[in-house]
Chain A
Amino acid sequence: MQRLTKENDGSFNTIHSFKNNENSLNNNENSFITNSYNTTTFNNTTVNDRSEILAWLSPLEPRMRHRDIGARRVDSIGAWVLESEEFCRWRNGSREDDGSYHPTLFCDGNPGVGKSYIVYEIIYCCGGLKSTIANEL
């Protein structure tokens, strides 16, 4: 049986032979064989464990909705929110600044005014492509 380990760049290129799947919680050999190419070790947590832990935290996948909104958005819709003083203070301010800083910004609006597109823009603006949405397994 073989195990692949993951390099820093994400590629699978080092193969080790082993007999026991010591780090995995899954002791069923048949099931292990099926998933063996996914077994990458990060310290004591394997990729199998990692996927299982993420699924345990929640079965929901907001990135699907995020991508759908991104595909339908029109450039610059809601850009005025990103330019607003309220947004800049919310994004860049800190609790030490003064008493007027609030960690929450709530935007209310009637149906169809583009609230979801604004959320999309703000996610991008706060995290860009480094957003965890883009990296989620």
Chain B
Amino acid sequence: MCAEAVEGDPIVACFYFDFAARNEQSPVNMLGSLLRQVVSGEGEIPEAIDGDFRKEKRVIGGKGLQVSGILKMFQTITATRRTFICVDALDECVPESRMVVLESLGQILQGSPNTRLFMTGRPHVRSEVEKELGGAATFLFIRATGDGVLRFLREKLRKDTAPTRMSITLERDIMKNIPAISSETYVRARPSGAPP
């Protein structure tokens, strides 16, 4: 098991893409959110960021944050600190933004040798990750395990807000058929080399 505490005091920043929020989740806002989490974990606002903020405040209608500025500030903090970036549902980021995000994350990794990036997404975005980060990435296929599906279903049924409407027969069918369907889907989708 690899779940022991990480040594030292790592920085952890995450982002969950959501297609319903695609207008707000621009590359600038997404990367800025990662930076915001990194900065908020620091006792004090780093001087470089404080300085940029004050400069921006002095200009009425300033041009606002740019991706290049965010990357520069990011690397200032993470250059020597162990940093984990976790990004969920990359497929829910619009394609145009996705390329900017992937390229930017690649630049962060290049400039910050102690930074690690974990991402998830549906299989169709894997080729884009391979294209942008392929040389620096390991790929792992996620599948639902039979045991995991059973536990998930039990928990859902336990929290059913109208349990009296559920007949024993229906509950038995759910517990029998859904794991079987999930398993079948997995076998069909599982690429060679994926874990059993």
Asked if B45 is at the interface of the complex by the 8 Å CB criterion, the answer is yes
CB distance from B3 to the nearest CB of A (A): 5
Chain A 95-137 residues near chain B, CB threshold 8 A: 95, 102-116, 118-119, 122-123, 125-128, 130-133, 135-137
B29 near A59: Cβ-Cβ < 8 Å: yes
Contacts of B133 in A (CB 8 A): 104, 106
- Give the nearest-CB partner of B13 in chain A: A132
Chain B 173-196 residues near chain A, CB threshold 8 A: 185-186, 189, 195
B16 near A65: Cβ-Cβ < 8 Å: yes
With the chains together, A103 CA to B72 CA distance in Å?
A: 19
Count residues of A near B (Cβ-Cβ below 8 Å): 68
B123 near A110: Cβ-Cβ < 8 Å: yes
With the chains together, A112 CA to B57 CA distance in Å?
A: 44
Count residues of B near A (Cβ-Cβ below 8 Å): 77
A110 near B122: Cβ-Cβ < 8 Å: yes
Task: Give which listed residue, B57, B70, B136, B141, contacts A109 with CB less than 8 A.
Answer: B141
Given that A106-B138, A108-B120, A132-B11 are known contacts, is A58 also in contact with B32, CB under 8 Å in the complex?
yes
Task: Name B's interface SS.
Answer: mixed
Given that A60-B33, A90-B116 are known contacts, is A109 also in contact with B86, CB under 8 Å in the complex?
no
B109 near A103: Cβ-Cβ < 8 Å: yes
Asked if A83 is at the interface of the complex by the 8 Å CB criterion, the answer is yes
Chain A 65-102 residues near chain B, CB threshold 8 A: 65-66, 69, 74-78, 80-84, 86-92, 95, 102
Q: List 28 A–B pairs whose Cβ atoms lie within 8 Å, in order of A's numbering.
A: A56-B56, A60-B25, A62-B15, A69-B16, A74-B151, A75-B151, A80-B195, A82-B1, A83-B1, A90-B116, A103-B136, A104-B109, A106-B126, A107-B119, A108-B121, A108-B142, A110-B143, A115-B121, A115-B142, A118-B120, A118-B142, A119-B88, A119-B118, A123-B14, A123-B86, A125-B3, A126-B10, A130-B9
Q: Which residues of B contact A (CB under 8 A)?
A: 1-3, 5-6, 9-16, 18, 24-25, 28-30, 32-33, 35-41, 43-45, 49-50, 53-54, 56-57, 65, 70, 84, 86-89, 109, 113, 115-123, 125-126, 129, 133, 136-145, 148, 151-152, 155, 185-186, 189, 195
